Amino acid sequence: MTKPGVTVILSYDRWVTDVRFQLNFKSGKPVYLQLVDQVKSAAASGAVQPGDPLPSIRPLAEELRVNRNTVAKAYAELESQRVIETIAGKGCFVRASSSPFRKDVRLKLVAETLDDAVVQAHHLQVGKAEFLRLSEERFDAFEDQRTSRRA
């Protein structure tokens, strides 16, 4: 039987405690995008800070037992979204979050993600009022987490 998820804790300073890569082959989401989202959320929540190194491609691929190209594709995507940067001969590092996109593009990207959540709410019969209340709650929880990490 397939294990639904693979969790890996890597021994790279900060990554030991703060980022757990968790792959789920049953989520229907391409594996490289799962990696992209996990690095993005770690960067957004402050679990990793600008300047922190990402694990190199080979050990991460070996640990997760995924194709090396999958990790390379995830890192390329993160780089094009300016979440990380590659320094020749040194590896990949988390960038300070300064989005390269214009405001309207940023709003559109968030809207797309929200659409997924709205569809899910519809499937699960969660109404608009409940959905909005939940959104607010999640946003606050996220901010709280960030603040406590900074402290």
Bridging pattern class, strands 21-24 and 5-8: antiparallel
DSSP result, 3-56: -SEEEE---STHHHHH--EEEETTS-S-HHHHHHHHHHHHHHHTSS-TTPBPPP
CB of 56: closest distance to another protein in angstroms?
A: 10
How far apart are the two ends of the chain, measured CA to CA in Å?
44
Q: Which residues between 48 and 77 bind another protein (CB under 8 A)?
A: 57-59, 61-62, 64-70, 72
What backbone torsions phi and psi does residue 24 show, to the nearest 5 degrees?
Answer: -130, 110
Residue 112 lies near another protein (rule: CB under 8 A): no
User: Taking CB under 8 A as the rule, does residue 80 contact another protein?
Assistant: no
Least spacing, CB of residue 143 vs another protein, in Å: 30
Q: Applying CB under 8 A, what is the total number of residues that bind another protein?
A: 28
Query: Which window, 44-52, 80-88, 120-128, 131-139, contacts another protein (CB under 8 A)?
Result: 120-128
Residue 143 CA to residue 1 CA, distance in Å, equals: 39
- Of residues 16-35, those binding another protein (CB under 8 A): 23, 25-31
Residues that bind another protein (CB under 8 A): 1-3, 6, 23, 25-31, 57-59, 61-62, 64-70, 72, 123-125
